[in-house]
Amino acid sequence: MIIGNYRTQLYDKQKEEYLPATQGLGMFVEVKDPDEKVILSRQYGSEGRFIFTSHTPGEHQICLHSNSSKFALFAGGMLRVHLDIQVGEHTNNYAEIAAKDKLTELQLRVRQLMEQVDQIQKEQNYQRYREERFRQTSESTNQRVLWWSIVQTLILVAIGFWQMRHLKSFFEAKKLV
Amino acid sequence: MRFGFGFGFGFGSGLLLLPLMFGWICASELTFELPDNAKQCFYEDITIGTKCTLEFQVVTGGHYDVDCRLEDPDGTVLYKEMKKQYDSFTFTASRNGTHKFCFSNEFSTFTHKTVYFDFQVGDDPPLFPNENRVTALTQMESACVSIHEALKSVIDYQTHFRLREAQGRSRAEDLNTRVAFWSVGEAFILLVVSISQVLLLRSFFSDRKTTTTRLGS
């Protein structure tokens, strides 16, 4: 699970400082998974929080666009974006978990360790998947290199034959042979 | 932020300058895309006396190098390196304020790069916000703390391994593209050269025949 929080502040050129909160400025958040499929595509206000869960391992893309057209009119406009992305184990609010399950300090610490180990396991699964893909790619590359070498040798030999045959018939026509 | 899986972050267009700031947490990790001829800056508020570490690595793109520059609130350059592939820099903040670090790809004309950085400010927050530090931890609790630290370093190693794997894959894909182009180009050159050899040879003998005929008559 991934939680993203953001907060935007617009720069006020007259006061030369960042305004506390921007009115009317929205951010469009788009999240794509490794297969370029859009998981999340939503408009939020100047402050927002988005949550999503990854279903495939790999590189996900999070894009934040400003959608305000009137903002774009400010030449040299600057926007300060405060961003906080929490992934995996860090999404847990331990104070909340402790209160809900009524855990002692030791139990909470052990729960945190379990979450960390969970994350390590997920990462190792990902690496195992990557190694498998790599092995498949290597084997297909090996096949392609072998096939290409054979084809290139055949082309070379065929061209050699064609050259000799063509020149021979050319010289015979010219009555030089 | 810690990433369980590979993570990327892309910036949309439409803003002239987009400074990014981390306000609420003690350690930030981010993998972002740096377009060609672009510079991306990040800001962090740090209090005086805090020990901070900045670590970055280029994951994909070109020659896998980037310029990095770290400045304190007065503009004094604390760290500046050109065309570095990977580096780690630890410093203690000597003044309060917004520190700024920038990654620049301005020397590259057409390759955009993916850069990972990890900016650690101070220590991680304790598990219990109102932890009573006066009482000593029991043996179990201190064992838990040391396991927690060890697991954190395991996760850190895993992150580095994942980045190295991504970088290796990117290099392999570049190599594959180059080899594919070269093979096709070479086959084409082979055909062109062999046909032009034959045509050139034919042209030699055609000229001589004309000359011989003229001499004979």
Q: Tell me: the pLDDT tens digits for B39-71?
A: 999 998 888 888 999 999 999 988 888 999 999
Q: Bridge partners of B51?
A: B92
Mean pLDDT estimate for chain B: 80
pLDDT > 60? residue B121: yes
The model's confidence at residue A15, banded by pLDDT at 50, 70 and 90, is: low
Distance CA A57, CA A53 (A): 11
Yes or no, beta carbons of A123 and B141 under 8 Å apart: no
Residue A137: per-residue pLDDT: 92
Yes or no, beta carbons of A58 and B3 under 8 Å apart: no
pLDDT > 90? residue B154: yes
The model's confidence at residue B213, banded by pLDDT at 50, 70 and 90, is: low
Nearest beta carbon to residue B127 from set A112, A120, A176: A112
pLDDT > 80? residue B129: no
Closest by CA position to B51, among listed B120, B122, B100: B122
The model's confidence at residue B132, banded by pLDDT at 50, 70 and 90, is: low
Distance CA B152, CA A93 (A): 18
CB B40 within 8 A of CB B100: no
Is the complex ipTM higher than 0.95?
A: no
Decide if B14 touches A, using CB distance below 8 A. yes
Q: Checking phi first, is residue B83 left (phi over 0); if not, alpha (psi -120 to 50) or beta? A: left
Closest by CA position to B27, among listed B54, B63, B61: B54
The fraction of chain B above a pLDDT of 90, given in percent, is 46
pLDDT > 80? residue B127: no
Q: Which of A12-21, B168-177, B197-206 has the lowest mean pLDDT?
A: A12-21
pLDDT > 90? residue A161: yes
* Contact residues, chain B, for A90 at CB < 8 Å: 1-2
Nearest beta carbon to residue B187 from set A85, A124, A155: A155
Yes or no, beta carbons of B19 and A80 under 8 Å apart: yes
Contacts of A106 (CB under 8 A, 6+ apart): B138, B140, B141, B144
**Chain B contact probe: residue of A105, A127, A163 with most B CBs at under 10 A:** A105
Yes or no, beta carbons of B22 and A106 under 8 Å apart: no
The pair of structure tokens assigned to A34 is: 């490794």
* Higher pLDDT among residues B99 and A97, named by residue: B99
Nearest beta carbon to residue B25 from set A84, A110, A116: A84
The pair of structure tokens assigned to A40 is: 């999340």
pLDDT > 50? residue A18: yes
Write the pLDDT tens digit of every residue in B75-90.
899 999 999 899 999 9
Report CA-CA distances (Å) from A130 to A35, B60, B108, B197.
15, 17, 30, 49
Instruction: Supply the pTM of this predicted model.
Output: 0.78
Q: Which of A10-24, A101-115, B44-58 has the lowest mean pLDDT?
A: A10-24
Nearest beta carbon to residue A65 from set B14, B17, B186: B14
pLDDT > 60? residue B7: no
Closest-CA residue of A relative to B127 is: A94
Q: Please report the residues numbered 83 through 142 in chain B whose beta carbons come closer than 8 angstroms to any beta carbon of chain A.
A: 127-129, 138, 140-141
Helices (H) and strands (E) in chain A, counts: 3, 7
Distance CA B39, CA B34 (A): 7
Average pLDDT of span A143-147? 94
Decide if B158 touches A, using CB distance below 8 A. yes
Q: Could you say which DSSP state residue B149 is in? A: H
CB B9 within 8 A of CB B30: yes
Residue A119: per-residue pLDDT: 92
Average pLDDT of span B127-134? 61
pLDDT > 50? residue B205: yes
Distance CA B44, CA A169 (A): 80
pLDDT > 80? residue B26: no
Yes or no, beta carbons of A86 and B140 under 8 Å apart: no
User: H or E segment at B68?
Assistant: strand B66-71
The fraction of chain B above a pLDDT of 70, given in percent, is 80
Cβ-Cβ contacts under 8 Å between A and B: the total is 174
The model's confidence at residue B23, banded by pLDDT at 50, 70 and 90, is: very low
pLDDT > 90? residue B116: yes
The fraction of chain A above a pLDDT of 90, given in percent, is 33
Residue A147: per-residue pLDDT: 94
Nearest beta carbon to residue A119 from set B1, B155, B172: B155
Closest-CA residue of A relative to B168 is: A134
pLDDT > 80? residue B135: no
The model's confidence at residue B16, banded by pLDDT at 50, 70 and 90, is: very low
Closest-CA residue of B relative to A99 is: B128
> A74: distance to nearest CA of chain B, Å?
10
Closest by CA position to B51, among listed B97, B94, B20, B21: B94
Looking up tokens 């190693």 gives B157
* Higher pLDDT among residues B150 and B3, named by residue: B150
Yes or no, beta carbons of B197 and A163 under 8 Å apart: yes
Q: Please report the residues numbered 55 through 84 in chain B whose beta carbons come closer than 8 angstroms to any beta carbon of chain A.
A: none
Residue B17: per-residue pLDDT: 31
Yes or no, beta carbons of A109 and B3 under 8 Å apart: no
Q: Which of A36-40, A42-46, B164-168, B180-184 has the lowest mean pLDDT?
A: A42-46
Yes or no, beta carbons of A119 and B23 under 8 Å apart: no
